[in-house]
Amino acid sequence: MESFYDETFAPVYNQLFTGFANQVSGPLRAYHQAATGRESGTLLDLCCGTGQLGLSFASHGYRVIGVDQSQAMIDLAHENARHRALEEQVQFIRADVAKFEITDTVDLVTCTFDSFNHLQGMQQLSACFRRTREVIADDGVFIFDVHSISGLRQQNTFSVRETDDLVLISRIGYDPDSGTAIARISGFDREDMSAPWRQFRQHATIRAWSAEDIIAELRQAGFGSAWPAKLDALGESVNDPDQVPRLFFVARP
C-alpha cells in the first residue's frame, strides 16, 4: 500500500472522512451476529484508520484489534479510544495488512471504505487474504468493500471544501489506459482562527479487480465460500456484481 494519510493529513481525515465507518458499522455487526449467533467477539479491522469502525464495535462489547500502516492514524485511533473510554477493549497496531502479526484467533475481520483498492496489486491483496485466513476462526466472517471496475471508472471528480479553518481540494481521475484512478487531496487547515495554517498533500493510485478474480483469490486463500453483496443484503449474492459501483464481499472459512 502506498504511503497515505501522514501526520499532516490524518487529523483532516479524522475530522471529515469517518462517516462511512459510522454508516456501515451497524449492518456489519448485525450480519455477524445473525450469521454466527454471537452477540460479540473479537474483531480484526484492517486499514483501521483512526479507529472509528472498531470503536463502534467496542462500544457494543467486542474486543477490537485494528491494523493500519500509518502511524499518524494509529496515534489518532488511540486518542479517540481514550476520549470514548474504550482503551481496555481495543488494540491498535501499525503494520502492513499483508504481513501483520497477532497471536489471537479472531471472529470477524473487516476492511472498509474501499481500502483494498489502494493496495499495489493482486499479489498484495492475495497475501492479505492468506494472512486473514490464518487468523480467523473456522466459523468466522470476513467482510470488506471495494470499488468495482465500473465503480472505479466513475471516479472522475473534483471538489472544493472551504470553512473558516479548512480549505480542501479533492481530485480523482480515471485513466482508461492503465485501468487505475489517481486520487489527489491537498489543502490547508488550522486548529482555530488564531493558529497558523498547515499544508497537507496526499496522493494514491486506486486499482480494481473483477468480482470473479477476487472470489477466486479468496478461495485459493482457504475460504470455503465467498460472494459479492450489497450492504443492505450481505447474506445474498448480487447479480452482475461488476456493474455495482461499491461491492461488499463476504467470505467464510
Find out whether 106 and 135 touch, Cβ atoms under 8 Å: yes
CB-based burial label for 45 (10 Å; 0-12, 13-18, 19+): buried
Distance, CA of 34 to CA of 40 (rounded, Å): 11
- CA 116, CA 67: separation in Å to the nearest integer? 13
If you count them, how many residues does the chain have? 253
Is the pTM higher than 0.85? The answer reads yes
Q: Give the whole-angstrom CA distance, residue 233 versus residue 172.
A: 29
Which residues are within 8 A (CB) of 18 and not within 5 positions of it... i.e. 6 or more apart? 49, 50, 52
Cβ–Cβ contacts within 10 Å for residue 178, how many?
10
Q: What is the pLDDT of residues 216-252, one digit of tens each?
A: 999 999 999 999 999 999 999 999 999 999 999 999 9
Cα 18 from Cα 15, distance rounded (Å): 7
Nearest of 55, 4, 20, 8 to residue 168 by alpha carbon: 8
Helix (H) or strand (E) holding 180: strand 180-189
* Full set of structural domains in the chain with CATH: 10-148+208-252 (3.40.50.150), 151-206 (2.20.25)
DSSP state of 193: T
Mind listing the pLDDT tens digit of every residue in the chain (253 residues)? Answer: 555 688 999 999 999 999 999 999 999 999 999 999 999 999 999 999 999 999 999 999 999 999 999 999 999 999 999 999 999 999 999 999 999 999 999 999 999 999 999 998 999 999 999 999 999 999 999 999 999 999 999 999 999 999 999 999 999 999 999 999 999 999 999 999 999 999 999 999 999 999 999 999 999 999 999 999 999 999 999 999 999 999 999 999 9
Report d(CA 192, CA 239) in Å as an integer: 49
pLDDT tens string 127-160: 999 999 999 999 999 999 999 999 999 999 999 9
